Structure 1
Amino acid sequence: MRVVLTTLCLYLLGMSLSLAQRNVLEGKILDQNQQPVEGVSVSLEGTVRGVQSDSEGRYVLKDLPEGEYKLKAQLIGFKAIVQEFQIGKEEKKTLDFVLLEDEIWLDSFELLASRGMNGQGRLPEIEDFRINAGRKNEVIRLAEIDANLAMNNSRQIFGRTPGISIWENDGSGIQLGVASRGLSPNRSWEFNVRMNGYDITPDPMGYPEAYFTPPMEVVEQIEIIRGASSLQYGPQFGGLMNFVLRKPDPSTRFTAESINTVGSNGLFSTFNYIGGTEGKWDYTAYYQKRRGNGWRENGFFNTDHAHLEVNFAASNRLKIGGELTYMTTETQQPGGLTDAQFAEDPRQSTRARNWFNTPWFIPSLNADYILSPNTKINFKAFGTIAQRNSVGFMQPITQEDDLGNRQVDRDLYHTFGSELRLSTAYSLFGSEHNLVAGYRFYKGNIDRNQRGVGDAGSDMNFDLVEDSYPRDLDFDNVNHAAFVENMFNVTDKLLLTAGLRLEHISSNMEGVLNTVNGVPDLLIPENRTRTFALLGFGGEYHLSKTTELYTNFSQAYRPVLISDLTPPATTDVIDPNLQDASGYNFDFGYRGSIGTYLNFDASYFYLNYSDRIGTITETNTDGSRYQFRTNLGTSVSQGVEAFVEFDPITAFVGSSSFGYIHLFTSLAYINAEYQDFERTSVVNGEIVSRNLAGNRVENAPRKINRFGATYRYKNFSATWQLSDVGETFSDASNSIEPNENATSGLIPAYQVQDFSAAYTFQKRYSLKAGVNNLANESYFTRRAGGYPGPGIMPADGRTFYLTFGIKL
């Protein structure tokens, strides 16, 4: 809190200083019909200074050092204008512009006005400090889709993104569990999860589970770069998932918004936001409160999110800023169910005393510096001070809660990271090329305490009855990485990329693995140091102005995590000889648009995952079965991902006074299988051999298909969506029949529908409503071996929501 107050005081001081400045550049931007144009980007070339025009077309830039400048005004749909000017000390100058429409974009503007096909986009070939060319990537623009954002409904948010598998056991929306291409959705840990470009997980190289997810009401877009992101972001097989929050409004000194939602099961959510720009300063802040009783019994949740961002243009070339993000949660965990219990009533719960808590604090600093018109650098420093706390009755779901002392498990996370990036454009052989390079340092510490003896109560209480934890482990991880990548513009149609990343990871784990009768069982210290290189290359060939072929190849790496080395709080058993995994991703695809009525992206992918860490069902001497986590040899995932969005009215009629209908389809066929890997086990005193070859990878459905239709008329929109997901297995043994504890067995296929609608009036008021799981299907996407299970984790049934928003 002291840090927040200090930052606010500095902000207010800066505001007062900026108000005193007399050097001002201002103006008004009109179109050919002399109407004001809102949202025009107005920037000084070669500097960090820039704003946007407001609803009256006005813009203001304050406190410019005297000198000569080039002012650029641009907005999609209009031709960019560059105007040279000179400004003196304490001078007030006015520059007005008239923007001319760009004929290339005239048809697209008609499409944009219908707001039907903007929810799914792609990243530019190069922007800021990264190269995106040749990569399979998606940009989800949340303001353009109909979805239950108050509850972070993943089915709707990722509805247009092909191949995204989702664990839907967290109806509170606090934690996001997504994956692609046969990877595990467990808290999105196969992705490098970032917010505004910096890490928000406990440790990407040691424990990358995403316990923190920002409220979707403040997320402007979600950027997904598949496995080929490993060169620039780290070696994760899944690639990058970056949440980009709304930035300070550059067109006004102050704006405010309040979004309030009520819904089924006592849901109440309030999201409140302010932001603006004044002179050299800009700021934004939000607070969200969300609580409800959950769809299942014993499913209460109560969350608070807060965020503050302040930026300052220290000079024309240097901009610095800081962000503070805080989250605290109080969630009751209903626990898992057996197959019989799920069939009887998926809403029931036999765990009334299980609680989960994740206080999360993320500070960050950011600096942009322009070295020259073609070269700029960015520096980020960030950290995480957080906890993962649970208390409850942790025994298998077949055991009744004895109402005795509960088990307490607590993780403490303290991490620090920094990234320095350079981006430059240069000329060679008559063409302009681009180079991006960077260095990264990351240090993480995890203090893991498990199996503590807690109280016998029913409320959330993490205090111990006894003084110490039987398991007390300390995990340190240090990561150095450097990368360089170049984009070569070979011809006007062909570009190639090539790059290299060097990684150095040093991990150490020590402590007490268990304590029996007061005697500690010390863990043999685990010390691992790895240094390796990752190679990658790709390319694009533009068949036309709006369509292109793309391809990429990129190596990947997954170090053994602390969660791999230590068993969860319940039933899984861990192989002590786990090894790191490595492999590569390959993509080849065709994407683009035809006219203004068809967007598409279809691609083939191949993912090789060597020494994959997974779970296999083993048999005890008494005949009982348990989950064994070990290296399972090599798995190969290959298949097709395709997205198509079609506007039949624009295609066949051109325009309509009755609105537009957009149809979208997101298809994925994923064949994820293990290769030759022989296993032996003892069953009834005899050695039994088996081979995983041909077995399907766990948590990897072969089909993930989503279909939808959106109707839009002026300020009204409505979207229906169907998710059709195939069956999958919960272990590498491909067990079909469930075990007694419901931790292994088949996860059946399912279909679920969602409907949402939105209406905006007078530009500042909005109403949204919807029904999730329209047909009230009973299904589940996960069998958990540990917390928050064990057992079947049911997905939510039918729920309703209603949202009212106001902007000032």
Structure 2
Amino acid sequence: MLQKFIKYFALSCALSGTVMAQEANKAEATPKENKKKEADTSSEVKNAQDAADAPIESERVIVTGEIIPDGGQILTGSSKRVDNEDIRKHSYSDINRILYQVPGVNIREEDGYGLFPNISMRGVNSHRSAKITLMEDGITAAPAPYSAPDAYYAPNAGRMDSIEVIKGSGSVQYGPHTTGGVINYVSTPVPTEGETFYWKQLFGSDNDIKTHMYYGDVYDLEAGKLSLLFEGYYRENDGFQDIQHSDRNTGINHQIEPMLKLRFEPKTSKYQYLELKVGYTDMEGNLSYNGLKREDFNSNPNDRYWGTQWDHMDTEAVRTYLKHYIELSNDVSLTNTLYYNRFKRNWHKVKGDPGTDVLRGTAPGEIRLKNNNRDYYQVGLQSEVDWNFDTAGIEHDLKVGTRLHTDKYDDNSWSDYYQTGGNYDVIGYRENEKGSDGNKDYHTDSVALFVQDAIKLTDKLTLTPGVRFEHIRYDYNNDTVGKEDDGKSDVDIWAPSLGFAYDFNEEYQLFGGIHKGFSVVGPPDAVIGAKYESSVNYELGLRYNQIDGKYGAEAVVFFSELEDIYDPDSQASGATESRTIGDGETYGLELSAYADAGRINNWGFSNPWTAAFTWTQSEVTDVNDNLTDTGSFYDGVKDGSDTPYIPEFQYNIGTGLHFSKWGTDVNMTFVDEMFVSAENTTKTDSHVVVDWSAYYKVNNNARVLFNVYNLFDEEYEAAHHPTDIRGGSPRLFYAGFEYKF
């Protein structure tokens, strides 16, 4: 397979018609944008000199429809970028807290730290974020996005530079899960000029230690310009939960994440660069699937049962890519990215229900702990051509992208059994043979192609038609004793789109679009003929941005028709087998606004305000016949059932005061009550969580930081899955410093 990738990589570099997917290229700007503004009259010598002196790519707005307070290009669609400052002002490492700032995104919290997010966009099922495409730097980030899309993994938001949420017709550029949308984690970029150093150190509740550091520099060499970035992230804590009658902690034992980025820009007549990224993660924690029964939750929502004291997760991940970008002319660029990601984990956790008193340690019995020992990898090459041209006086920005991808999931699981005596004691132990609970592998190959053209029909109107095609080949093999099975299958998916933007003037824009979304199923279900989940999605929005960037607002209505809603076999949802539920629909309203009262009124200090509001209706409209209960949160579904874990209302409001030496910020999130199953009988609490932050500048490079999460110590039910009731994190305090030059 590697030989195929190398051959394909060489062919892509030779042919200007193939090129990398826009995903990774979006996260950074290229000198091409600046060069297009220059006159086209320079000599070949001057072109060569310009290429040699061209600056390294600087950060640019890449997401469709971002509200940009400091100016910049507004593009079509309703997508949003949460930038570096929005993340760091509260020192967020929890992706849930970051995404609450984005309208149209719903969250089912699970562990209290955002390690295992369950993300929904526009009302689709939030289960393990499987209905959206997760990316890091434009590379699919789920460990095996085709073979095991609902694997427990997400990039660490605490080390990110920004987060991009892509909704609307722009999703056609991505796959293989877009019934919800796309989230791209953007890691720390290499420096654009000169030496840079960053160090954030925080100490917090439950002995929490968070360290984030990086160092970068730029070197002018005879052959070209070399940029480098070394980054490190470290975290550990004891956890905010307490295990009954045990002194074992419930937190993150360690989270170690080094990264290296290198970029080389040779002195050639055409601007180009090579960029290498190598990242690594080693994370261990005493994390559990189990929540609490009602009476125990009401007594202390931060308790954990005695029988979960052996729950432990051990993970290891590698993230790499090699990217080559070249400007073939002032109007054509070509990018190729070869990538390889690997993720290994063993989650040793309680399996099944041994009985509440057995878990409490007050009754004799047997506790089964399953070692979910799994290994995932993905490797691929994605390419994109970006071509700007005119036809009959009409401007085009044509993007053509391809991706050759393979991923694999190997399962080698087994169980341990603890015999308990009923007095918080263990009287026996046995361990099954490795692989006895799971000895299987899933393997998926895919070839994807997308074409999208932004056609500027007039000075005011731009149409953006596009289409994505995916050919997927599945291979499934199960050697688990008593479950032997194998098979192969193929599927082709077409996903068209059409977006538009109409600029009334420099401040007002009407935008909208229609596109097909899809979410593929895993190999075992594909082999037996299960159809992939699909959707037809509509949006219409109006955007206002005041020219000076002092205030702005956006309103979007959306509607989606879902077909073949897929409910996978998963312990996290309780399902013991996969099935197709039926059809559904979601619709709603998204509002966002920003304003800086200090700038508007010339107060001499900054007083920013932001707001994000979402109203969502999501339901199953046409349930398939003869559905049997599988333990899933879709059990009891009927026509008209509300989708589990989708609140009707959700909003986020933030404000701050910033002076020359100090500043403070407050962020408030309201989440409405949510049904926990499609039976629609039980709901979580509605709740309000307030975060507060402050800083004091020691000098231009250093500042002291203070953070409080859940300021008023709101106790609330975050979810009733994976098992029983789970609470959100309690009030947490942090203090530390940030230093940068």
Find 1:555's aligned residue among 516, 519, 523: 516
Go from structure 1 to structure 2 and tell me whether the alpha carbon gap of 1:243 and 1:699 turns closer, same or farther (over 3 Å shift): same
- Where does 1:40-439 land on structure 2 (aligned, <5 Å)? 68-69=45-46, 124=73, 133-144=75-86, 147-149=89-91, 151-152=93-94, 154-155=96-97, 157-209=98-150, 211-235=152-176, 236-252=178-194, 254-279=195-220, 280-297=225-242, 298-301=249-252, 302-316=254-268, 317=270, 318-334=272-288, 335-350=290-305, 351-396=308-353, 398-399=355-356, 400-401=358-359, 402=365, 406-439=369-402
Amino acid at match of 2:509: E
* CA shift in 2, pair 1:557/1:150, >3 Å: closer
Sort the Cα spacing of 1:719 and 1:146 in 2 relative to 1 into closer, same or farther, 3 A.
farther
Q: Is the 8 A contact 2:87 2:162 kept in 1?
A: no
Shift of 1:371: 1.0
Equivalenced residues, count: 658
Instruction: Please give the alpha-carbon distance, in whole angstroms, between the structure 2 residues aligned to 1:578 and 1:389.
Output: 29
Partner of 1:742: none
Structure label with greater radius of gyration: 1
- Asked whether 1:512 is paired with 2:464, we answer no
Match of 2:666 in 1: 720
2:726 paired residue number: 793
Instruction: Return the offset for 1:473.
Output: 1.4
Residue 629 of structure 1 and its aligned partner are, at CA, apart by 5.0
Deviation at 1:423, TM superposition (A): 0.2
Deviations 1:312-337 (A, max 9, x none): 12343331121111001111124311
Among candidates 669, 682, 696, match of residue 759 of structure 1 = 696
Residue deviations 1:432-482 (CA, integer Å, cap 9, x gap): 211000111110110122344478999xxxx96524323211101111111
Say yes or no: does 1:502 pair with 2:469.
Answer: yes
Counterpart of 1:735 (choices 681, 694, 713) is 681
Measure how far apart 1:370 and its partner are. 1.4
Question: Is 2:110–2:117's contact at 8 Å kept on the other side of the alignment?
Answer: no
For residues 71 and 294 of structure 2, what CA distance do their matches in structure 1 show?
42
Distance 1:419 1:179, change over 3 A: same
Superimposed CA distance per residue, residues 537-592 of structure 1 (whole angstroms, 9 cap, x where no aligned partner):
110000110220001111111111369799xxxxxxxxx87432112211100113
Distance 1:511 1:85, change over 3 A: closer
Letter of the 2:286 counterpart: Q
What one-letter code is carried by the residue in structure 2 that aligns with 1:768? L
Write the letter of the residue equivalent to 2:700.
K
Partner letter of residue 728 of structure 1? M
CA distance in 2 between partners of 1:802 and 1:564 (Å):
49
The one-character-per-residue Cα deviations of 1:752-791 (angstroms, maximum 9, x if unpaired) are: 1111123333221022211111111111222224xxxx22
Q: Partner residue of 1:487?
A: 454
Q: 1:563 to 1:230 in 2, by over 3 A?
A: farther
Tell me how far 1:713 sits from its aligned partner.
1.6
Is the deviation greater in 286-295 or in 640-649? 640-649
Moved more, 336-345 or 169-178: 169-178
Cα distance between partner residues in 1 of 2:208 and 2:102: 28
Distance of 1:45 and 1:671 partners within structure 2: 41
CA shift, 1:213, in A, is: 4.2
CA distance in 1, matches of 2:256, 2:419: 27
1:643 aligns with 2:584: no
2:536 paired residue number = 584
Q: Residues 507-537 of structure 1: CA distance to partner in whole angstroms, max 9, x if unpaired?
A: 1222135x3xxxx3312x2433111211111
What letter is aligned with 1:322? L
Q: CA offsets per residue over residues 205-252 of structure 1, 9 Å max, x none?
A: 232347444444542221111142332112521222111222222221
In the superposition, relative to structure 1, how do residues 398 and 404 fare at CA in structure 2: closer, same or farther (>3 Å)? Answer: closer
Shift of 1:708: 2.3
Shift of 1:159: 4.0
2:256 alignment partner AA: D
Q: CA deviation at 1:296?
A: 0.8
* Structure 2: gaps spanning 5 or more residues: 1-28, 37-42, 56-65, 243-248, 360-364, 630-634
Q: 1:410 Cα shift? A: 0.9
Query: What is the SS of the residue equivalent to 2:448?
Result: strand
Judge conservation of contact 2:354–2:366 (CA < 8 Å) in 1.
no
The change in CA–CA distance for 1:681 and 1:672 in structure 2 (over 3 A counts) is: closer
For the 8 Å contact 1:70–1:85, the answer to whether it is kept is yes
Amino acid at match of 2:230: A
Question: Which residues of structure 1 form unaligned runs of 5+?
Answer: 1-40, 49-65, 72-83, 88-92, 96-116, 126-132, 567-575, 618-624, 684-688, 737-745
The 3 A distance-change label for structure 1 pair 181 and 291 is same
Distance 2:567 2:703 in 1: 46
Q: Structure 2-normalised TM-score?
A: 0.82
* 1:379 to partner: Cα distance: 0.5
Is the partner of 2:169 in helix, strand or coil?
A: helix
SS in 2 for 1:154: helix
> What are the superposed Cα offsets for residues 47-84 of structure 1, whole Å, 9 maximum, x if unpaired?
89xxxxxxxxxxxxxxxxx963369xxxxxxxxxxxx9
Instruction: Tell me the equivalent position of 2:735.
Output: 802
Contact 2:366–2:417 under 8 Å retained in 1: no
Aligned counterpart, 1:604 = 557
Please list the CA deviations of residues 126-148 of structure 1 after superposition, one character each: whole Å capped at 9, or x if unmatched: xxxxxxx4321101112245644
Name 1:770's counterpart in structure 2. 707
**What SS class does the counterpart of residue 342 from structure 1 fall into?**
helix
Shift of 1:727: 1.4
CA contact (8 A) 2:396 2:453 kept: yes
Residue identity matched to 2:183: M
